[in-house]
């Protein structure tokens, strides 16, 4: 297959590109800067520019580009950057694909379970309505920006990813550090639900969905074993052989990050079940948290 990937140098994009190339696929990264990589496609979402000819005749496009939502404190300017980096790039890509003479069969467009908002103990699936809050609003606008591709008949899949667990990048190394230092603990009450997926299953699910012709629309990329923050804390301590006796007070995290960012990233509760993925026949390599953490953290230690 010939596949273009935006965000190819990010956590998911790097792993996905490596896996696809290992299988013999032709991967064309979509890049902002000049690149010596064969097949690279240039684009500049801020300027509304993209090399449309480089996208002709592809089998699939995977769109993962977007500013990191937890990388920096949320100021008004940063929130606007988070939103516009998703809607502007997605809209440009979708309109361009819709106008091609030979468009791809499928657009796999990044999204997030943040669309559901804070839902307590409610079990959520792709059939659940969106929630409220900044992140939910961003994800709704992000998905809506892909409408031109879907309207042109391109099978469009929204990759509603949960927390992606990887030992070499993303949020997990930052989460693990306090545990390694012996001061890890639950966040606040610890009752909030966390929906997660290992980097291996994230990549495998994207590859699976590229060929799953019967699947379109939102797909929750989460493992079937959602956990509470207290359960996550216990498993992390067990895997890293560290105590988990010191809870982290909510007030301290809200002061450090700002109340809105802390509440929507750390204390939000989302108990998501991957109904579409499992219904389509996808098999998880890491269906439970302990298996996933031992795999990704063990891999990191082996490489050290």
pLDDT, tens digit, 9 for 90 and up, residues 49-99 = 999 999 999 999 999 999 999 888 999 999 999 999 999 999 999 999 999
Note the pTM of the prediction, 2 decimals. 0.94
CA dihedral 91, 97, 99, 103 (to 10 degrees): -160
Domains of the chain, start order = 2-303 (3.40.50.720)
How confident is the model over 177-209, as pLDDT tens digits? 888 988 889 999 999 999 999 999 999 999 999
Asked if 286 contacts 189 with a C-beta cutoff of 8 angstroms, the reply is no
> Which residue numbers in the chain have pLDDT < 50?
302-304
The pLDDT assigned to 33 comes to 84
What is the per-residue pLDDT for 183? 86
165: three-class secondary structure by DSSP: strand
Which pLDDT value is given to residue 302?
47
Q: Which of 226, 230, 87 is nearest to 148 (CA)?
A: 87
């Amino acid at each position: 297959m010939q596949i273009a990937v935006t965000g190819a140098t990010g956590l998911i994009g790097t792993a996905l590109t490596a896996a696809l190339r290992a299988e013999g696929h032709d991967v064309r990264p979509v890049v902002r800067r000049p690149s010596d990589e064969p097949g690279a496609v240039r684009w500049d979402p801020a300027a509304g520019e993209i090399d449309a000819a480089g996208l002709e005749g592809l089998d699939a496009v995977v769109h993962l580009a977007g500013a990191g939502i937890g990388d920096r404190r949320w100021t008004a300017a940063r929130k606007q950057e988070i939103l516009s980096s998703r809607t502007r790039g997605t809209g440009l890509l979708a309109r361009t694909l819709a106008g091609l003479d030979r468009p791809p069969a499928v657009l796999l467009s990044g999204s997030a379970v943040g669309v559901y908002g804070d839902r307590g103990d409610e079990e959520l699936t792709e059939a659940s309505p969106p929630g409220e809050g900044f992140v939910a609003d961003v994800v709704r606008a992000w998905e809506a920006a892909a409408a031109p591709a879907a309207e042109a008949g391109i099978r469009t899949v929204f990759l509603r990813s949960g927390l992606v667990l990887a030992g070499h990048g993303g949020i997990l190394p930052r989460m693990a550090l306090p545990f390694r230092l012996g001061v890890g603990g639950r966040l606040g009450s610890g009752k909030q639900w966390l929906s997660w997926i290992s980097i291996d299953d994230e990549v495998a699910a994207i590859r699976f969905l590229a060929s799953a012709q019967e699947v379109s629309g939102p797909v929750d990329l989460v493992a079937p074993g959602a956990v509470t923050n207290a359960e996550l804390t216990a498993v992390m301590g067990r895997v890293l052989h560290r105590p988990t006796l010191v809870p982290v007070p909510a007030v301290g995290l809200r002061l450090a990050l700002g109340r809105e960012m802390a509440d929507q990233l750390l204390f939000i509760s989302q108990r998501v079940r991957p109904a579409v993925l499992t219904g389509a026949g996808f098999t998880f390599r890491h269906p439970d948290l302990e298996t996933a953490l031992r795999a990704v953290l063990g891999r990191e230690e082996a490489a050290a």
